Amino acid sequence: MAKKNKTVRPKARLPRGLRDVGAHEIRAMSDMLDAIRNVYDIYGFEPLDTPAFEYSDALGKALPDQDRPNAGVFSFEEEDGQWVSLRYDLTAPLARYVSENYDGLAKPFRRYQTGPVWRNEKPGPGRYRQFTQFDADTVGTDNVAADAEICMLAADAIERIGIPRGDYVIKINNRKVLDGVLQTAGIDPVAPENAEQRMTVLRAIDKLDRLGREGVALLLGAGRKDESGDYTKGAELAPEQIAPLLDFVSASDGDLDTILTRLRSLVGDSERGQEGVEELRQIGALLAAAGFEDDRVRIDPAVVRGLDYYTGPVFEAELTFEATGDDGRAVRFGSVGGGGRYDGLVARFKGVVVPATGFSIGVSRLYAALEALGKTNSATATGPVVVLVMDPEHTADYQAMTRDLRTAGIRSEMYVGTSGMKAQMKYADKRHAPCVIIQGDDERAAGEVTIKDLVEGSLLSTKIEDNKEWRESRPAQISVKRDELVEAVKSVLARHNG
């Protein structure tokens, strides 16, 4: 009896919330990222790369809990006892970089960065623990021209990758205006003791899309019970405080002047509120001067963004078209990116305020939208020409043919397996080869090669039903002299791409 192998073999599988990415997506994604990069370059931003992990304290997370060091972020302890974490966004590393290199930087400092970020959160459909962001930020100026420019940048990038005008909108709001409305309602928005209540208000408004005015009203008041019976505690505002907030978030109708007039009256004599409205007016004017109209960029007071570090203008990029999902139902992609002004992040290190504004694209969501629009077919994605190995004795000849094709810039390969003809044809099919090259004894004797057009062949095979007729007519198959191989393959490829 044969000896049983008792070695325990590891199972080949990925941890949950992680995935492999195949050729099609890599190529199309790379085209998409190149398009965005091109826009950011034209705008004068410079690329920057930071490493995958950093000191946990530099990333702005509290020292990880010894017992659960990986809650939210992935962290590990260095041999010297210091904690490091995988980056969870690209903004925290930027703040560290700017602080570390402040004196040497041309200011305002304008950089873009793309790359994976990691979050140790519960994965779900389309929600991964590793995903890609693409950020652009301007650091070192409180000039609203920088905010206006970020909105143009976002709109141009989305259009450049192939989302048509009208199918997206960049929405702008200003945290200061919301603060003004709160102030008018008798709540000091910057008092530390009100910070939690203010965040509850932000989170409630953020749900307008999903819950409507009535749902938000409940969350601004005592609280709300959802369909499952779960109860969410509210911001405990009185009805007379809630009313102006609801007026505020619904103030997006009309042209820019109409909206600004409405906002001015809602913030009353709150200085902070009036400052916010004035910033929105200036941003609107700059956008108009650059030819960005309502159909691309507009003010929408319902946009608040969930993050608490925003201090002024906030932006959200939204896709407005509907696509049909795999299940036949309508899919809306909604937000594909957002950002805003954050004047406190660099201050964490330097102790002085370094104003900054930026925008982050959720790359996977944007890609999913492009896929739904049928716009992810990269030009480089065609399969290789496959040179079949009819006779292993003559491998060197087949290798030389492959070499000639490659030298001419034609994507091609000699079959490097050891199986027979049938398996080789199957391989070529599976690789989506546009054609295969064949040289058997007869062809060799005649100094010829045969080119079998698989694209044409599979089209014809739907028309010719008789097996015999097929074999006799040998459709989509031509023989040429060996030294005419490259030119002949070029014409086959040209026919398919033409």
Using CB under 8 A as the binding rule, the residues of this chain from 148 to 187 that contact a second copy are: 148-149, 152, 156
Q: Site for a second copy (CB under 8 A): which residue of 51, 166, 212, 447? A: 51
In this structure, what token pair is assigned to residue 326? 């795999």
Distance CA 471, CA 323 (A): 44
Q: Is 74 in the site for a second copy (CB under 8 A)?
A: yes
* For a second copy, the closer CB: 108 or 162: 108
Q: Is 364 in the site for a second copy (CB under 8 A)?
A: no
Distance CA 55, CA 77 (A): 10
Q: Is 65 in the site for a second copy (CB under 8 A)?
A: no
Distance CA 115, CA 70 (A): 21
Kindly identify the residues of this chain, within the stretch 278-307, that bind a second copy according to CB under 8 A.
Answer: 285-286, 288-291
Q: Site for a second copy (CB under 8 A): which residue of 1, 2, 6, 20? A: 20
- The closest alpha carbon to 484, from 413, 412, 405, 422, belongs to 405
Please, what is the angle between helix 239-249 and helix 175-184, to 10°? 150
Distance CA 77, CA 38 (A): 39
Only segment of 95-103, 295-303, 368-376, 470-478 that touches a second copy (CB under 8 A): 95-103
* For a second copy, the closer CB: 140 or 234: 140
133 contacts 118 by C-beta, under 8 angstroms:
no
Q: Is 447 in the site for a second copy (CB under 8 A)?
A: no
Rounded least distance, CB 460 to a second copy, Å: 23
* For a second copy, the closer CB: 153 or 178: 153
* For a second copy, the closer CB: 148 or 202: 148
Distance CA 71, CA 121 (A): 8
Kindly identify the residues of this chain, within the stretch 382-401, that bind a second copy according to CB under 8 A.
Answer: 384, 386, 389, 395-397, 399-400
Rounded least distance, CB 471 to a second copy, Å: 26
* For a second copy, the closer CB: 338 or 384: 384
In this structure, what token pair is assigned to residue 222? 């005592």
Q: Is 124 in the site for a second copy (CB under 8 A)?
A: no
Q: Is 470 in the site for a second copy (CB under 8 A)?
A: no
Contacts of 299 (CB under 8 A, 6+ apart): 171, 172, 173, 252, 256, 259, 260, 280, 284
Q: Site for a second copy (CB under 8 A): which residue of 65, 70, 258, 325? A: 70
* For a second copy, the closer CB: 187 or 288: 288
Q: Site for a second copy (CB under 8 A): which residue of 86, 256, 370, 435? A: 86
Q: Is 458 in the site for a second copy (CB under 8 A)?
A: no
Looking at 126-270, list the stretches that DSSP marks H as alpha helix, in order from N- to C-terminal side. Answer: 144-160, 175-184, 195-206, 208-220, 239-249, 256-267
Q: Is 57 in the site for a second copy (CB under 8 A)?
A: yes
* For a second copy, the closer CB: 6 or 329: 6
Only segment of 20-28, 300-308, 475-483, 486-494 that touches a second copy (CB under 8 A): 20-28
Distance CA 156, CA 297 (A): 11
Q: Is 236 in the site for a second copy (CB under 8 A)?
A: no
Q: Is cis: bond before 10, omega within 30 of 0?
A: no
Q: Is 13 in the site for a second copy (CB under 8 A)?
A: yes
Q: Site for a second copy (CB under 8 A): which residue of 143, 194, 274, 364? A: 143
Rounded least distance, CB 391 to a second copy, Å: 13
Distance CA 146, CA 163 (A): 24
* For a second copy, the closer CB: 18 or 191: 18
* For a second copy, the closer CB: 59 or 245: 59
Taking CA atoms, 152 is separated from 39, 283, 292, in Å, by 10, 11, 7
* For a second copy, the closer CB: 42 or 222: 42
Instruction: Read off φ and ψ for residue 313, nearest 5 degrees.
Output: -60, 140
Q: Is 348 in the site for a second copy (CB under 8 A)?
A: yes
Pairing of strands 330-341, 313-324: antiparallel
106 contacts 44 by C-beta, under 8 angstroms:
no
437 contacts 385 by C-beta, under 8 angstroms:
yes
| 270: helix, strand or coil | coil
Only segment of 71-79, 175-183, 324-332, 334-342 that touches a second copy (CB under 8 A): 71-79
Q: Is 77 in the site for a second copy (CB under 8 A)?
A: yes
Q: Site for a second copy (CB under 8 A): which residue of 213, 403, 471, 481? A: 403
Q: Is 344 in the site for a second copy (CB under 8 A)?
A: no
Q: Is 380 in the site for a second copy (CB under 8 A)?
A: yes
Q: Site for a second copy (CB under 8 A): which residue of 72, 82, 166, 325? A: 82
Q: Site for a second copy (CB under 8 A): which residue of 191, 222, 238, 416? A: 416
- Give buried/exposed letters for 326-339 (b at 16+ CB in 10 A, else e): eeeeeeebeebbbb
Q: Site for a second copy (CB under 8 A): which residue of 28, 32, 36, 84? A: 84
Long-range contacts of 231-236 (CB under 8 A, 24+ apart): 233/200, 234/200, 234/204, 235/197, 235/200, 235/201, 235/204, 236/197
